[in-house]
Amino acid sequence: QVQLVESGGGVVQPGRSLRLSCAASGFTFSSYGMNWVRQAPGKGLEWVATIWFDGSNIYYADSVKGRFTISRDNSQNTLYLQMNSLRAEDTAVYYCAKDAIISSGFYFFDYWGQGTPVTVSS
Amino acid sequence: DIQMTQSPSTLSASLGDRVTITCRASQSISRWLAWYQQKPGKAPTLLIYKASTLESGVPSRFSGSGSGTEFTLTISSLQPDDFATYYCQQYYSYWTFGQGTKVEIK
C-alpha cells in the first residue's frame, strides 16, 4: 500500500534553515509528481511546492519562492523540501502528497503523509 | 492566481441531515476541482475529483457537482464519521485550496 512518511520537522529560529524529507513506498515513485502542502495551526491547507515525476518542472507558492527548494531522489524514493530564511509565518504542519495521475501535469493529490510539524520561533 | 471561496465556513447539522457545501472559483476552472475531508490531527483524504468523480472507497452518500466557477459537495445523509472539515482544491492552474468548511454536530 502507498506510504508517505515525512521527517525533519522541529523547532528552529527565524532566519535559520531546515530540510524536510518524505520517504515513499508502495508505488513507482519515479512515475508521479509530488507535492508539499502545509497547514498553519488552526488554519486551512496551503499548497507550497510541486515537482514533476522527473524533476523537469518545479512550481512554488509565492509565499515561499526564493526561500524553499523542492527536490527528489528517484533512486531513494525520497522527496525533499529545503527551507531557508525561515519566518514565524512558516510555522505549520508540512505534508507531502502524491499526484493521483501518472506522468506530468496539474493533478489532484490521492495520498498524503501524516505530516511533520515545523515551528519557527526564537 | 485563482482564488477559491467556500461557504459556509462552519455548518451545524444533525445525523441524517442532507448537507451542501459550496465552493466558488475566481475564474473558470472547467471541472478541475477536488474535495478533501480532514479530521483533527490527521492528513486530508481525497473524496472527489474532477468535480463529481467519487474516489474509490468513498461512501456513495458523498457527491459532487458543478463546473466553471461554482461547485457543490453534498452529503445525502450525515453520518457520525462525517463530522470533519472539508476543503475544495482547484488544479486547473497550479493549486489552490478553499479555506475549509467545518461540519459540526448540531
Which residues from A are below 8 Å from B48, CB to CB? none
Task: List B residues 58-97 in contact with A (Cβ-Cβ < 8 A).
Answer: 87, 89, 91-97
Q: Please check the confidence at residue B90 and state whether its pLDDT lies above 80.
A: yes
- For residue A7, the cross-strand partners are A21
A3-47: pLDDT as tens digits: 999 999 999 999 999 999 999 999 999 999 999 999 999 999 999
Residue B86's beta-bridge partner residues? B37, B101
pLDDT tens digits, one per residue of B37-64: 999 999 999 999 999 999 999 999 999 9
Does residue A49 contact residue A99 with C-beta atoms inside 8 Å? no
**Residue A97 Cα, gap to closest chain B Cα (Å):** 10
Amino acid at A116: T
What is the pLDDT of chain B when averaged over all its residues? 97
- B11 is written with which cell numbers? 455548518
Task: Check if the beta carbon of residue B103 is closer than 8 Å to that of residue B82.
Answer: yes
Rounded-to-integer distance, Cα A33 and Cα B15, Å: 38
Chain B residues with CB under 8 Å of A35 CB are: 95
Mean pLDDT of B70-91: 97
Of B1, B43, B94, the CB nearest to A114: B43
Q: Is a pLDDT exceeding 80 seen at residue A65?
A: yes
Closest Cα in chain A, distance from residue B16 (Å)? 27
Whether residue A45 and residue B49 make contact (CB cut-off 8 A), yes or no, is no
Region A50-55: mean pLDDT is 95
Q: Residue A11 contacts by C-beta under 8 Å, 6 or more apart in sequence?
A: A119, A120, A121
